[in-house]
Structure 1
Amino acid sequence: MQEVVSEIMSSHVVTINSNKSALDAALLMKEKRISSLIVQDEDELLGIITERDFVKRVCANDRVSSEVKISELMSKIQTFAAPDTPVDVAVQRMINNRIRRLPVISNGKVIGIITVTDLAKELRRIMLTQGIVELID
């Protein structure tokens, strides 16, 4: 049976409202120890904000983070996966769109996210299972 994204995704998705500031987002990401936030107002999915967005749109332009709204900073979600999307299809979407995070959406709501870290963990699990690598602390 082919593995699907719901089996390896991170189901704890942290969101932020689009009218918050880049500083608010940075503090939330620091607190939660994550590298991206889903942007939504109420139940409307608007986009994603990542560390790369901060570098390109705040730092590189020498902007004051408390004065930059999330709506100016976020990226549009280019593609997504459904919970039953095969993992290899999700990986191909990430490669094709040159993204490191893929939201998992069901009935118009973000229910999870797959990151390159999730994929690396899954690859390691497969390699351990197949005896390709040994468990190292």
Structure 2
Amino acid sequence: MTTARDVMHRGCECLRINDSLAEAARRMAELNVGSLPVCDENGQLKGIITDRDIVVKCTAKDKNPAEVKAGDLIEAPVRSIDANADIDEVLHQMAEHKIRRMPVLENKELVGIISQADLAAKLPQDKVGELMEAISATSR
């Protein structure tokens, strides 16, 4: 059985709720990623911020990214999956909720993230194709 742990990208970094969007953008650029999870002071996952969120919800609205906090943009509830979940459940959740990135938790702690690229690299094309088709119409 293939699990979320088998396909996830390990070692993802978290933004803190009070980090500015300017800091978020800098960290995304340094890490060469398009999104980062947002965690509270206890390390609990609270949401995900994408580069698109920064542009659409901050910059395009003439807000200052140095003044807007990551916590201001996160939307609850954040969808996540257990590290031991079967890959078919991961695919089902991502397709049903039109999610391109799925945080992976173990004992309520963030241990990784699954992106479309992770799935494309590690799963048969037919499974990945079904997911892409399901989320491509309108996705977050």
TM-score, with normalisation over the residues of structure 1? 0.82
Partner of 1:44: 44
Partner of 2:33: 34
Amino acid at match of 2:113: I
Deviation digits for residues 77-104 of structure 1, max 9, x if unmatched?
Answer: 5321111111121011111111111011
Pick which of 60-69 and 95-104 moved more. 60-69
| Alpha-carbon distance in 1 for matches of 2:77, 2:22 | 21
| Alpha-carbon distance in 2 for matches of 1:98, 1:78 | 12
| Alpha-carbon distance in 2 for matches of 1:34, 1:121 | 17
Partner of 1:114: 114
Deviation digits for residues 9-56 of structure 1, max 9, x if unmatched?
Answer: 001111111111100000001001111111112323222111231132
Structure 2 residue runs of 5 or longer lacking an equivalent are: 126-140
| Higher-Rg member (1/2) | 1
Partner of 2:6: 7
Closer, same or farther in 2 for the Cα pair 1:102/1:46, shift >3 Å?
same
| Alpha-carbon distance in 2 for matches of 1:22, 1:115 | 22
Amino acid at match of 1:42: N
Amino acid at match of 1:106: E
Identity of aligned residues (%): 31
Other structure's SS at 1:64 match: coil
Conserved? CA contact 2:48–2:78, under 8 Å: no
Partner of 1:105: 105
Amino acid at match of 1:7: D
Conserved? CA contact 1:53–1:75, under 8 Å: no
TM-score, with normalisation over the residues of structure 2? 0.81
Q: CA RMSD in A?
A: 1.5
Partner of 1:95: 95
Conserved? CA contact 2:46–2:78, under 8 Å: no
Amino acid at match of 2:33: I
